Chain A
Amino acid sequence: MPDQPPSDDALLISLAARDLAALAALYDRYGRLAYSLAYRILGESAAAEDVVQDAFLSAWRGAGGYRRERGNPRAWLLSIVHHRAVDILRRKTTFRPAPLELAELQPGDEDTALAAEKNVEHSTVRAALEALPQAQRRTIELAYFGGYTHVELSELMGVPLGTVKGRMRIGLQKMRRALERSR
């Protein structure tokens, strides 16, 4: 009987036991996605690679303290990537209100949809995001990939803070329902 690949949870247990092969397996499983996310946020390969290296090293060091309530291992790892990348982005760029069109020119935008459609799981999420009204989708994308805080978004989009929060809330609620329906 062929060996089943270890689950993500099993990999984290092995990681906590300082098993280098588990680190390799985790990288093979999520390295590409982690790099793609970091690149999407930073738009630069060298910085994206630094973020990925740092995130995997954090997982390597922190696997022993990993708790399920932080999310599944994949979500946990990608949240490290996201936080590190956004930190760098915010350190590199002092927020100044800019024309919204400029703020929306995020790296990787031009090929995001095309490449994501090649993957069924990815296209489901993408479809859920695309189905949102434009204002909600833009708000979520600028917050998550653009690194803008809700206060900055309020200024950038010229709408009250409550409106920004409302767009986030309704947008994420709709995505949640869409993803639940697809399962």
Chain B
Amino acid sequence: MNDHILDDLEPYALGAVDRTEAERIASHLATCPTCRAEAAALAEVVATLPDTVALREPRGTLRERVLAAGRAELQPAIASTRRRWSLGTVRLSRVAFAGLTAAAIVLGAIDVDAYRRLASATAERNDYDSIVQALRQGARVWYMSGKGDFAGSGGTLFDPRAEGKQPFVLFHDLPGIPEGKVLTIWLVSPDSTWARAATFRPNGRDVQSVQITMEVSGFERCAVTLESSAWGPRYGAVVMESRIVAPTSP
């Protein structure tokens, strides 16, 4: 027979209990229909409290961030573990690839056809087509080099010039990270505000593209940190970063 915990249900409904107490109450509710019914009725009242707040407009970019985050989970990985970036029988270093791509764009002379031929030669044209399209009109590019446990890896931030194309980071050689951890891409403003641009886990492939969800302009640095949470402020160590204030393209 349950001892009812009706006295605890109001603080619980309002979220005014600590985690331990919340778990204790939730366990009780799982087995007590009486308290569960009362908790549900209280939850209905509490659910109206958001209607008392002043309505504020979020920035328009928030909608894009939300959709980009959802889209990112739908997209199949751009690269395949079975396939390597290669030209003929010569495997192309991922670092060199990122560098070559960056250099071509930096020079303002990216040859889309040549790029496409390269992709075609690797039999992965379709996979890379979206990147080619995004870079068709060139891009501003910055390279972030991995530090510490991420030494040897890196990521190239592309800010496509083409209208409607979102910035993205093309990572190479990302190491595995512990369960429960995530990598977060941040854009850092001149006043040192860190804005979360994307959160992801390495997919185990040599090359991984991650779309970021905000405009690059106005920020002076980009960085990647290892975090324990997919939200909230930055806590984790910086594993790669680059200044982005001065464009590297003409």
Known contacts A35-B58, A36-B56, A91-B232: A116-B15 contact under CB 8 Å: no
- Contact between B54 and A40 (Cβ–Cβ < 8 Å)? yes
Residue A33, interface by CB 8 Å = yes
Write out the residue numbers on chain B whose beta carbons fall within 8 Å of the beta carbon of A175. Answer: 45, 48
The smallest beta-carbon distance between A29 and chain B, in angstroms, is 12
The smallest beta-carbon distance between B101 and chain A, in angstroms, is 28
Q: How far is the CA of A78 from the CA of B48 in the complex (A)?
A: 10
Tell which of B43, B56, B65 touches A32, judged by Cβ atoms closer than 8 Å.
B56
In the complex formed, the residue of A with least CB distance to B11 is A150
Write out the residue numbers on chain A whose beta carbons fall within 8 Å of the beta carbon of B195. Answer: 46
- Contact between A168 and B11 (Cβ–Cβ < 8 Å)? yes
The smallest beta-carbon distance between A182 and chain B, in angstroms, is 11
Q: How far is the CA of A61 from the CA of B56 in the complex (A)?
A: 26
Interface size, B (range): 35 or more
Write out the residue numbers on chain A whose beta carbons fall within 8 Å of the beta carbon of B52. Answer: 112, 116, 122, 125-126, 129
- Contact between B231 and A84 (Cβ–Cβ < 8 Å)? yes
Q: How far is the CA of A159 from the CA of B6 in the complex (A)?
A: 20
A66-82 CB mask vs B (1 if < 8 Å, else 0) is 00010110110011011
Residue B51, interface by CB 8 Å = yes
- Contact between B15 and A86 (Cβ–Cβ < 8 Å)? yes
Known contacts A50-B231, A172-B46: A165-B11 contact under CB 8 Å: yes
Write out the residue numbers on chain B whose beta carbons fall within 8 Å of the beta carbon of A155. Answer: none
Query: Which parts of B1-34 form the interface with A (CB within 8 Å)?
Result: 7-8, 10-11, 13-18
Q: How far is the CA of A46 from the CA of B65 in the complex (A)?
A: 12
Q: How many residues of A contact B (CB 8 A)?
A: 77
Write out the residue numbers on chain B whose beta carbons fall within 8 Å of the beta carbon of A118. Answer: 55
- Contact between A149 and B17 (Cβ–Cβ < 8 Å)? yes
Tell which of A51, A125, A140 touches B231, judged by Cβ atoms closer than 8 Å.
A51
In the complex formed, the residue of A with least CB distance to B6 is A169
Q: Which of B70-78, B118-126, B216-224, B237-245 contacts A (4 or more CB under 8 A)?
A: B70-78
Q: How far is the CA of A127 from the CA of B52 in the complex (A)?
A: 9
Write out the residue numbers on chain A whose beta carbons fall within 8 Å of the beta carbon of B66. Answer: 23, 27, 31, 52-53, 56-57
In the complex formed, the residue of B with least CB distance to A72 is B47
Residue A13, interface by CB 8 Å = no
Query: Which parts of B32-49 form the interface with A (CB within 8 Å)?
Result: 40-49
Query: Which parts of A15-45 form the interface with B (CB within 8 Å)?
Result: 18, 20, 23-24, 27-28, 31-33, 35-37, 39-40, 45
Q: Which 4 A-B pairs have the closest CB atoms?
A: A54-B231, A115-B54, A75-B47, A143-B16
Chain A residues with a Cβ under 8 A of chain B: 18, 20, 23-24, 27-28, 31-33, 35-37, 39-40, 45-54, 56-57, 60-61, 69, 71-72, 74-75, 78-79, 81-84, 86-88, 91-92, 108, 111-112, 114-116, 118-119, 121-122, 124-126, 128-129, 140, 143-145, 147-151, 153, 164-165, 168-169, 172, 175-176, 179
Can you offer 16 A-B residue contacts whose CB atoms are under 8 A?
A23-B70, A31-B58, A31-B63, A53-B66, A54-B231, A57-B69, A83-B15, A115-B55, A116-B53, A122-B51, A150-B11, A165-B7, A169-B7, A175-B45, A179-B45, A179-B48
Extra 14 A-B pairs, beta carbons < 8 Å, given A148-B16, A165-B7, A169-B7: A32-B58, A35-B62, A52-B62, A60-B70, A71-B40, A88-B231, A116-B53, A125-B52, A128-B48, A144-B46, A149-B17, A168-B16, A172-B45, A175-B45
